[in-house]
Amino acid sequence: MKKILLFAKHGQLGHELQRTLAPLGEVIAMDHPEVDFTNPDQICERIHEMKPACLINPAAYTAVDKAESEQELAYMINRDAVDALAKTAAELRIPFIHYSTDYVYDGRKGSPYVETDAANPLNVYGKSKLEGDLAVLDAGGAGLILRTSWVYSMRQGGFVTKVLQWAREQEVMRVVDDQVSGPTSARLLAEVTALILAKAGDDPYSWLGEKAGVYHCAGGGSCSRYEWAKAVLDLDPHKEEQIVRVIERAKSSEFPVPAERPMISVLNNDKLAHTFGLRLPPWDAGLALTIGD
């Protein structure tokens, strides 16, 4: 591929994608203020100017609780901008990879979600992301949606880095044990993305067009946030810095927040494996790889 246009280069996934996509072609990575996701027309102009061979979009409004009071902004970034991207990509015959979330589901199924399960988001963030997914599907073309869950890295203030910080500040840590999903390493998610594109061959638009649609791509297996936090502390390469003595189980109801979360939002990744021959490792193996880097 001659040019790969990547948005949100400063985000945790965008940062990893710059590295994993580099062997496939020239990566043109952009972020605010070079591109403004509250201005869909400007985004389309950028794509027309660049004429990339592929378009990758990990950009999103991800402040789940804040979205409840910033609905217009959440929909502008997660729906309207994505709609513009998808339509422009289809018009110019550019393959388009977009990322979505387990929060499009309500968490009440009781078993891992497959791509054909009905979406029923509980909060504005999930609703706006679902609208973006539907926009990609409606645009046609070669649009691939990778739905993932609990994405983390070691370079930004996500759950893993927060747990490590809390362990250095608190002797008693309370973590909810009733939210369950599959933690996903941003680095491994980026590597799967690059491997998909590497399989696309000389005509990525036609190849991906035949496979267009929604795919789940999350860390294998599942755990509660409590179990995840315990694993993080066990893998901490600097345990001597920890002052935490005990981790206590808690319920989500003990920590009131503006946005309701799905309780059990585990994703079944079989479709990705059957279509592309790719699957992320179990969540705990991915965590060990990420913390060990």
Where are the extended beta strands (E) located within the chain? 3-6, 26-29, 54-57, 96-101, 143-148, 151-152, 172-176, 180-181, 184-185, 213-216, 223-224, 246-250
Q: Is 125 a catalytic residue?
A: yes
Cα-based distances in Å from 52 to 3, 14, 212? 5, 17, 19
Q: Spot the catalytic one: 75, 99, 125, 205.
A: 125
Cα-based distances in Å from 191 to 41, 152, 281? 30, 14, 12
Cα-based distances in Å from 3 to 17, 50, 95, 168? 14, 8, 12, 44
β-strands 180-181, 54-57: how paired?
A: unpaired
Amino acid at 14: G
Contacts of 82 (CB under 8 A, 6+ apart): 57, 98, 132, 135, 136
How many Å is the maximal CA-CA distance in the chain?
58
Q: CA 64 to CA 125: how far, in whole Å?
A: 5
CB–CB of 147/100 below 8 Å?
Answer: yes
Q: Report the DSSP beta bridge partners of residue 176.
A: 250
Joined together, the tokens standing for residue 77 give 């970034």
Cα-based distances in Å from 115 to 57, 193, 200, 274? 20, 18, 22, 13
- The residues annotated as belonging to the active site are 125
